[in-house]
Every structure is written in structure tokens, then in C-alpha cells.
Structure 1
Amino acid sequence: MAPKVLVSDKLSETAVQIFRDRGIEVDFEPSLGKDKDKLAEVIGKYDGLAIRSATKVTEKLLAHADNLKVVGRAGIGTDNVDKVAASKKGVIVMNTPFGNMITTAEHAIAMMFAVARQIPEASASTHAGKWEKSKFMGVELTAKTLGVIGAGNIGGIVCERALGLKMKVIAYDPFLSEERADKLGVEKVDLDTLLARADFITLHVPLTDQTRNILSREALEKTKKGVRIINCARGGLVDEQALADLLKSGHVAGAAFDVFAEEPATENPLFGLPNVVCTPHLGASTTEAQENVALQVAEQMSNYLLSGAVENALNMPSVTAEEAKTMGPWVKLAGHLGTFVGQLTDEPIDSIEILYNGTVAKMNLEALNCAVIAGIMQATNPDVNMVSAPVIAKERGIGLSTTTQDKSGVFDGYVKLTVKTDQRTRSIAGTVFSDGKPRFIQIKGINIDAEIGEHMLYTTNKDTPGMIGTLGGILGENQVNIANFTLGRNETNGDAIAMLYLDAPLPRDVQDKLIATGLFQQVRPLQFNVA
């Protein structure tokens, strides 16, 4: 059955057509996002939800979204999506961080020009029939110092444009490397240095606990007298009341804001002040940007629903379409390893250790980690997936560690999973053969070569003669057909294991008969999703 997507906000017809062209069924209801009750009624039918900012994806809405796999936001900001609730529900949240980068950067530059030359006030005065030429004395941008807070995608473009205007550019960004700063042609500084030196300050960071009120009253008071502040990033980055006070005192010469702490902003401490330019969150509002982000979100959602490629996800590691093809068998293997351990572990897990050896060590390990954890968690909660599993593991205080190493042994690559509880340590390793099929190659340190099927039986016993005959005899007497039978032992008369691939689930009464022999330490039927 083809995936089904709901578009509940205004996206271009071209973007909607992308879904159709990719073979995805799509319902285009651009006004539905404003009707939360109606949206909750219908959301359960859809695999994907494409939105802009009007639709609010709340925990309450997600409770009705039993089939939802992905939410795609056409734009950068995802404040209207409860990402924690989405992760727990197993829903990927994607945005489109690159579609409106240039547009937002250009708006910041335009706002800088506007506040430097008081263009909006001068325009309004002239429209009113006044000719107040002497009133609107501006400043040049050339040779001024621009302080950029956040030199990521958009901030980096602003730096490049400002250098083209012959400005001196300094940047504060904890994640900005010296190499990246040199490539941009900017000077990397700490925040206090930026505040003290900048003639203009522009913000280009997301709103997080670390960045909220990054320009607090205390920070604003450290700025150079006559500074001008531009915010086209997110409301809440600047203490607006403190800024208004400093504008009134003359310490700050001007401000240009496209975003506000509360939106829609009908009242704000900055409104009505001289040389304060305000626009209604227009950073991404160009025809090019709106089209770009709509097309991008349609492509991203289609890629995920059809091939498993994860792009620009906020709650899961990204996996390119090419990676999805290459990694597909390894992701399955990772899930199977987790499923095996999860079904055998009855007590709380303290830690998960994953070793990646050889070729697999160079793959997207974050995604593989998610698959392992999901496999473990699904033993007790079938609704868990690669998105929700890491969240649940973290909530339970389960530690995760990964190790990589160059090829060792006969396999080009393999994955070894070790899970520790307060009672025992359990390990299993697997690889992917050239036919693309995952195999178990070691359990409890015992080498095996076990094909993985939907219905399996795992037994452990002491290595004594007659065990194979007893196991096979009881299964045969009870019409249990064996597709594949794999044995292993660590030494003569030591520990032995068997992995059997069965045509159907092991009946409970047959399991009881095997246990009743007293010869087996464990008799565990296992189920694997091999689809």
C-alpha cells in the first residue's frame, strides 16, 4: 500500500505534485492545520504530515496519530512541533534548514541598512509631505565592525555579505573552528569581546536553553555606546524590555527586529520607539524561499517514506539515500542483534556496549545504534522504533558506549553487542554476507553461523552426547519442521548452543517437553522481523 501524506498548511502545488509523482497518496488541505479538532479526527489515517507554522503538532494531536511516521516542516523553526512527544511516539521530525538561508541572510542585511539609514522613518516622513532632511542622519556600514552571534549556515552567509560591504566581521560561536573562521574571513572572539567591539550586532542562533536571552540586560549594558542590534533569528534571544530601556537612554542607537518573544506581536516594548525597524517575521518570506522549502520538504518526506533516507531530522541521525541502500542490511542486522538480547533479558539493563569492526565501522554509527536499541526495546514494547528507542533508553538510565576497530578476523566487518545487567553479561555478534543477508556469528563467545528467520529456537546445554538427537527427536515427534540447524560449543564437554530456524512458531507444549527433559539450561523461542 502506498504511503499517505496530509498537507495541512499552504504548500505550493509543485510541492504537492512531488508526492504524487513519487507514488505517494496525498491530501492537500491547506486550512486544516488551523482546526485542531478536525485535524485530530483525521490524522490517524496518515503516514506523513507536511506543515508550515500554522499547524500545531502537540502531544494531544500525536496521541491520535497511530500511523504517523514523519512530520515535515517547510522552514527552519519547529517551535510548533512537540519534538519530545514526537520522539516518544516514534515520529521523525524534519525541517528544511537550507531552503531559506539566503533569504533570511539577505533580510538581516536589509534590516542593517534600514536601521543604519533610518529608511522606514524617513520614508514615512516623506510620504507625509515633510522634508526632514536634517533629521535623518545615518551612518555608513563601510569599515564598521559587525558582530555575528552564531556563524552557522545563515550566519555564515551574513558574514560573507558583510565582508563584501567592506565591514570588519567578528563572530562568536562555540562551535566555530579556527579553520572555519579563517575560511569565512572572520575573527573568532568570545561574547564579551564581541559586545565591547561591535558597531552592529546580528543574531543567527536557534532558541535553546543556552541561547535564551543571550543578549540579557547585563550583556546589553556591556555593548559599545551607539551599537545597533539586528535580530532576524528567533524571538527570546534578546531581553526586549532591557533593549527598549537602553534605546531610550541613548546607549543603543537603533534596533531592527523581525522576530519577537511573543508572536503574533501586537504589543511590544520596542514598538513606537524612534529608529527601531520592525517587520512581522518576514525572514523567509520571498517567493523563492517559500517554493524552495516546500519542494525540499516534499522530497525529504518522500525519500524517507519510500527508501528510509533520513534528511535534516531533528530527533534522529540523518541517513542519506545512498547510505540507506548500503546500510540497509546492516541496520537489519543491528536490529536483529538487539532483538535477540531483548528477548533473552528479563531483568533491567544497566548498559549497552556496541563494537563495530571493519567496513561497518566507517558507516553511520548513530543510525546503527538506534537500530540496536530499538531491537532491544521492542521485546517489551512492540511500538518502539529507531526514533523513540533512544529516548526511552535514556529515560531508563541505560548507558550506551560504542567502539570501532579495524578489520580483525575472517569477516570484512561485524557488529558485536554486549548488554550488562546486575545479574549477567550477554553478548552476540553478527555480520552481513555478500548476499546481503544478516547472520549471527557468535553467541556467548561461541562461534556459529546462523541464518536468521522469523521463527527461531535458541537452546543452551552442556556439551554431552545425544543432545542433538533429543532436540531433533522431540521436534520431529511434534511435527515442528526445521529450516536450518546451527550448533556451536566453546570446548569439548563445555558450553554448547543451538540456533534453529523453524517454519512456524514453537508450540508452548513442545517447549515444555524440551524443558522437562532437564537436559537444557535454556529453551527460548525467538521472533524476528525479517520483512
Structure 2
Amino acid sequence: MAPKVLVSDKLSETAVQIFRDRGIEVDFMPDLGKDKDKLAEVIGNYDGLAIRSATKVTAALLEHATNLKVVGRAGIGTDNVDKDAASKKGVIVMNTPYGNMITTAEHAIAMMFAVARQIPEASASTHAGKWEKSKFMGVELTGKTLGVIGAGNIGGIVCDRARGLKMKVIAYDPYLGEEKAAKMGVEKVELEDLLKRSDFITLHVPLTDATRNILSKENLEKTKKGVRIINCARGGLVDEEALAEMLKSGHVAGAGFDVFAEEPAKDNVLFNLPNVVCTPHLGASTTEAQENVALQVAEQMSNYLIDGAVENALNMPSMTAEEAKVMGPWVKLSGHLGAFIGQMTDEPIKAINILYDGVVADMNIAALNCSVIAGIMKRSNPDVNLVSAPVVAKERGVQISTTNQDKSGAFDGYIKVTVVTDKRERSVAGTVFSDGKPRFIQIKGINIDAEVGEHMLYTTNEDVPGIIGTLGQTMGANGANIANFTLGRAASRGEAIALLYLDEAPRAEILDQLQKTGLFRQIAPLQFDVA
């Protein structure tokens, strides 16, 4: 059945057509996002939800989203999506961080010009028939020091444009390295230094616990007298009350704000102050940007629903379409390894250790980790998936560790998963052969070569004669067909294992009969998702 997507906000027809061209059924209802009750009624019918800012994806809405796999936000900000609730429900949340970068950066530069030359006030005065040429004495940008808080994608473009205006650019960004700063032609500084030196300050960081009120009253007091402050990033980065007071006192000479702590901003302390330019969150509002992010979100959601590619996800590791093609068999293998060990482990798991060897060690480990964890957690929570599994593991206090190593064995690459409980450690390893099929290659340290099937039976026993006959005879007597039969042992007369691939799940009477023979230490039916 083709995936089904709901577009509940205004996206372009071109973007909607992308879904159709990829074979995805799409319902385009651009005003539905404003009606939360109606949206809740229908959301259970869809695999994907494409939105802008009008639709609110709340925990309550997600309770109705029984089939939802992905939410795609056409734009950067995802304040209208409850990402924690989405993760717990196993729903991927994507945004489009690159489609409106230039537009937002240009808006910040435009705001700098508007504040520096008091353009809105001068325009209003001239429209009123006044000719107050001497009243609107501005300042040049050339030669001034611009302090950029956040030198990532958008901040980096602002730095580039500002250098073109012959400004001296300094940047505060904990993730900006000295080498990258040198390539950008900016000076990397600490926040304290930026506050003291900047003639203009522009913010380009997301709103997080670390950045909330980064320009607090205390930090605003550290700024140079006559500074001008631009915020086209997120409301809540600046203490608006404190800024208003400093604008009134003259310490801050001007401000340009496109975003506010509360939006829509119908009443704000910055409104109607002299030399404060305000716009209604227009940073991404150009024809080009709106079209770009709409097309981008449609492509990303289609790539995920059709090919399993995860791009620009906020609650799971990304995996490009190219990676998905190469990694697909390894993702399946990692899920099978997790499922095997999860079905074999009854007691609470304290830790999961994952070893990646050879070619797989250079792949997207974070995505593979999610697959392993999901496989393990499915026994106790059948609804868990690659998105929700790490959340579930964290809630249970399970420690996750990984090790990468160069090729060390007979295979080009393999994955080994070990779980630790209070009672024991248990491990299983597997690889992917050239035919793209996952194989189990080691269980409990015993080497085997077993194809993975939907229905399997795992047994352990002492290495004595008669085991193969007993298993074969019992299966035959009960009409259970064996598709594949694999044996392994630690040493002659030592511990041995058998792994049977069956056409159907072994019935209770079969397990009963095997148990009564007294030959087996452990008899465990296993099931794997091989679709």
C-alpha cells in the first residue's frame, strides 16, 4: 500500500506534486492545521504530516496519530512540534534548515541598514509631509565591528555579507574552531569580549536552555555604549524588558527585531520606541525561500517514506538516500542481532555494548545503534522503533557504548552485540554476505553460519550424539518443515548450539516434546522481521 501524507498548512502545488510523482498518496488541506479538533479526527489515516508553523503537533494530537511515521516542517523552527512526545511515539521530526538561510541572513543585514540609517522613521516622517533631514543622522556600517553570536549556517552567511560591507567581524560560537574562523575571515572571541567590542550585535542561534536570555540584563549592561542589536533568530534570546530600558536610557542606540518572546506579538515593550525597527517574523518570508523549504520538505519526507533515508531529522541520526542503499542490509542485520538478544534476555538490561568491525565501522554508526536498540527493546515494547528506542533505553537507565575497530577477522565487516544484566553477559555477532543477506556468525562465542528467517528455534545442549536426530525427528513427526539447520560447538563434548530456520513458528507441543527429552539446556522460539 502506498504511503499517505497530509499537508495541513500552505505548501506550493509544486511541492505537493513531488509526493505524487514519488507514488505517495497526498491530501492537500492547507487550512486544516488551524482546526486542531478536525486534525485530530483524521491524523490517524496518515503516514506523514507536512506542515509550516500554523499546525501544532502536540502530545495530544500524537495520541491520535496511530500510523504517523514522520512530521516534516517546511522551515527551520520546530517550536510548534512536541519533539519529546514525537520521539516517544516513534515519529521522526524533520526540518529544512538550508532552504531559507540566505533569506534570513539578508533580512538581518537589511535590519542593520534600517537601524543604522533610521530608514522606517525617516520614511514615515517624509510620508507625513515633513522634511526632517537633520533629525535622522545615521551611522555607516563600514569600519564598524559586528559581533555575531552563532556562526553556523545563517550566521556564517551574515559574516560573509558583513565582510563585503567592510565591517570587522568577530564571532562567539562554542562550536566554531580557530581554523574555520580563519577561513571565514572572522575573529573568534568569547562572549564577554564580543559584548565589550561590538558596535552591532546580531544573533543567529536556536533557542535552547543554554541560549535563552543570552543577552540578559547583566550582559546588555556589558555592551559598548551606542551598540545596535539585531535579532532575526528566535524570540527569548534577549531580555526585552531590559533592552527597552537601555534603549530609553540611550545606552543602546537602536534595535531591529524580527522575532519576539511571545508571538504573534500584538503588544511588546519594544513597540513604539524610537529607533526600534520591528517586523512580524519575516526572516524566511521571500518567494524563493518559501518555495525552497516546501520543495525540500517534500523531497525529504518522500525519501524517508520510499527509501528509508533520514535527512535533517531532529530526533534521530540522519541517513542520506545514498547511505540508506549501502547500509540497508546492515541496518537489517543490526535489528536482527538486537531482536535475537532481546528475545533471549528475560532480566533487566544494564548495558548494551556494540562492536563494529571492518567496513561497517566506517558507516553511520548512530543509525545502526538505533536499529540494535530497537531490536532489543521490541520484546518488552512491540511498538518501539528506531526513533523511540533510544528514548526508551535512556528512561530505563540502560548504558549504551560502541567500539569501532579495523578489520580483524575472516569477514570484511561484522557487528557484535553484547548485553549486560546483573546475572550474565550475552552476545551475538553477524555479518552481511555479498548477496546482501544478513547472517548470524557467532552466538555465545560459538562460531556458526546461519541465515536469518522469520521463524527460528534456538537450542543449547551438551555436545553428545543424537541431537540432530532428535530435532529432525520431532519436527518431522509434528509436520514442522526445516528450511535451514545450523550447528556449532565450543569444543568436543562441550557446549553446543543449534539454530533451526522453520517455515512456521514452532507449536507449543513441539517445544514440550523437546523439553521432555532432557537433552536440551535451553529451547527458545525466535521471531524476526525479515520483510
Fold agreement, TM-score > 0.5: yes
Paired with 2:54 and 2:186, the residues of 1 have a C-alpha distance of 37
Partner residue in 2 for 1:185: 185
Paired with 2:196 and 2:148, the residues of 1 have a C-alpha distance of 13
Q: Which one-letter code corresponds to 2:512 in the other structure?
A: D
Any idea what SS the aligned residue of 1:370 has? helix
Any idea what SS the aligned residue of 1:387 has? coil
Partner residue in 2 for 1:464: 464
Paired with 2:190 and 2:226, the residues of 1 have a C-alpha distance of 20
Paired with 1:508 and 1:150, the residues of 2 have a C-alpha distance of 62
Paired with 2:15 and 2:310, the residues of 1 have a C-alpha distance of 18
Paired with 1:423 and 1:9, the residues of 2 have a C-alpha distance of 53
Matches within 5 A, 1:32-47: 32-47=32-47
Paired with 1:291 and 1:44, the residues of 2 have a C-alpha distance of 28
Matches within 5 A, 1:443-454: 443-454=443-454
Paired with 1:124 and 1:304, the residues of 2 have a C-alpha distance of 50
Matches within 5 A, 1:194-213: 194-213=194-213
Are 1:256 and 2:256 counterparts?
yes
Are 1:93 and 2:99 counterparts?
no
Matches within 5 A, 1:96-175: 96-175=96-175
Matches within 5 A, 1:321-332: 321-332=321-332
Partner residue in 2 for 1:478: 478
Any idea what SS the aligned residue of 1:33 has? helix
Give the deviation of 1:512 after TM superposition. 1.3
Partner residue in 1 for 2:307: 307
Deviation per CA, 1:292-350: give whole Å up to 9, x if none.
00000000000100000111000111101010000000000000000001101111100
Partner residue in 1 for 2:292: 292
Give the deviation of 1:267 after TM superposition. 0.8
Are 1:346 and 2:370 counterparts?
no
Using the size of structure 1 for normalisation, the TM-score is: 1.00
Give the deviation of 1:471 after TM superposition. 1.9
Any idea what SS the aligned residue of 1:71 has? strand
Matches within 5 A, 1:266-285: 266-285=266-285
Any idea what SS the aligned residue of 1:408 has? coil
Paired with 2:269 and 2:409, the residues of 1 have a C-alpha distance of 68
Give the deviation of 1:516 after TM superposition. 1.6
Any idea what SS the aligned residue of 2:373 has? helix
Any idea what SS the aligned residue of 2:269 has? coil
Partner residue in 1 for 2:359: 359
Q: Which one-letter code corresponds to 2:507 in the other structure?
A: P
Deviation per CA, 1:54-105: give whole Å up to 9, x if none.
0000000000001101000000000000000001111000000000000000
Give the deviation of 1:170 after TM superposition. 0.2
Give the deviation of 1:515 after TM superposition. 1.2
Any idea what SS the aligned residue of 1:63 has? helix
Paired with 1:515 and 1:349, the residues of 2 have a C-alpha distance of 27
Any idea what SS the aligned residue of 1:429 has? strand
Give the deviation of 1:40 after TM superposition. 0.3
Paired with 2:516 and 2:137, the residues of 1 have a C-alpha distance of 96
Q: Which one-letter code corresponds to 2:116 in the other structure?
A: A
Give the deviation of 1:363 after TM superposition. 0.4
Partner residue in 2 for 1:426: 426
Q: Give unpaired runs (5+ residues) of structure 2.
A: none
Give the deviation of 1:22 after TM superposition. 1.0
Give the deviation of 1:408 after TM superposition. 1.0
Give the deviation of 1:191 after TM superposition. 0.3
Matches within 5 A, 1:57-68: 57-68=57-68
Paired with 1:255 and 1:13, the residues of 2 have a C-alpha distance of 38
Give the deviation of 1:473 after TM superposition. 1.6
Partner residue in 2 for 1:21: 21
Paired with 1:516 and 1:524, the residues of 2 have a C-alpha distance of 14
Any idea what SS the aligned residue of 1:192 has? helix
Any idea what SS the aligned residue of 1:132 has? coil
Any idea what SS the aligned residue of 1:434 has? coil
Partner residue in 2 for 1:409: 409
Give the deviation of 1:513 after TM superposition. 1.3
Partner residue in 2 for 1:222: 222
Q: Give unpaired runs (5+ residues) of structure 1.
A: none
Any idea what SS the aligned residue of 2:243 has? helix
Give the deviation of 1:253 after TM superposition. 0.4
Any idea what SS the aligned residue of 1:148 has? strand
Paired with 2:477 and 2:305, the residues of 1 have a C-alpha distance of 45
Q: Which one-letter code corresponds to 1:276 in the other structure?
A: V
Are 1:455 and 2:467 counterparts?
no
Paired with 1:409 and 1:340, the residues of 2 have a C-alpha distance of 22
Cα RMSD of the aligned pairs, angstroms, is 0.6
Give the deviation of 1:360 after TM superposition. 0.4
Give the deviation of 1:407 after TM superposition. 0.4
Give the deviation of 1:156 after TM superposition. 0.1
Identity across the alignment (%): 82
Give the deviation of 1:480 after TM superposition. 1.2
Paired with 2:439 and 2:228, the residues of 1 have a C-alpha distance of 63
Paired with 2:51 and 2:478, the residues of 1 have a C-alpha distance of 55
Deviation per CA, 1:19-46: give whole Å up to 9, x if none.
1111111000000000000000000000
Deviation per CA, 1:423-462: give whole Å up to 9, x if none.
1100000000000000000000000000000000000111
Paired with 1:313 and 1:417, the residues of 2 have a C-alpha distance of 26
Give the deviation of 1:472 after TM superposition. 1.7
Paired with 1:280 and 1:519, the residues of 2 have a C-alpha distance of 76
Paired with 1:309 and 1:479, the residues of 2 have a C-alpha distance of 42
Q: Which one-letter code corresponds to 1:45 in the other structure?
A: N
Partner residue in 1 for 2:334: 334
Q: Which moved more, 1:373-382 or 1:224-233?
A: 373-382
Paired with 1:478 and 1:11, the residues of 2 have a C-alpha distance of 59
Q: Which one-letter code corresponds to 1:505 in the other structure?
A: A
Partner residue in 2 for 1:84: 84
Paired with 1:471 and 1:26, the residues of 2 have a C-alpha distance of 51
Q: Which one-letter code corresponds to 1:292 in the other structure?
A: N
Partner residue in 2 for 1:238: 238
Any idea what SS the aligned residue of 2:64 has? coil
Give the deviation of 1:162 after TM superposition. 0.1
Are 1:393 and 2:393 counterparts?
yes
Paired with 1:500 and 1:22, the residues of 2 have a C-alpha distance of 40
Deviation per CA, 1:373-424: give whole Å up to 9, x if none.
0000111211110000001101111000000000011100000000000011
Q: Which one-letter code corresponds to 1:482 in the other structure?
A: I
Paired with 1:496 and 1:31, the residues of 2 have a C-alpha distance of 64
Partner residue in 1 for 2:49: 49
Q: Which one-letter code corresponds to 1:339 in the other structure?
A: A
Q: Which one-letter code corresponds to 1:174 in the other structure?
A: P
Partner residue in 1 for 2:522: 522
Any idea what SS the aligned residue of 1:453 has? coil
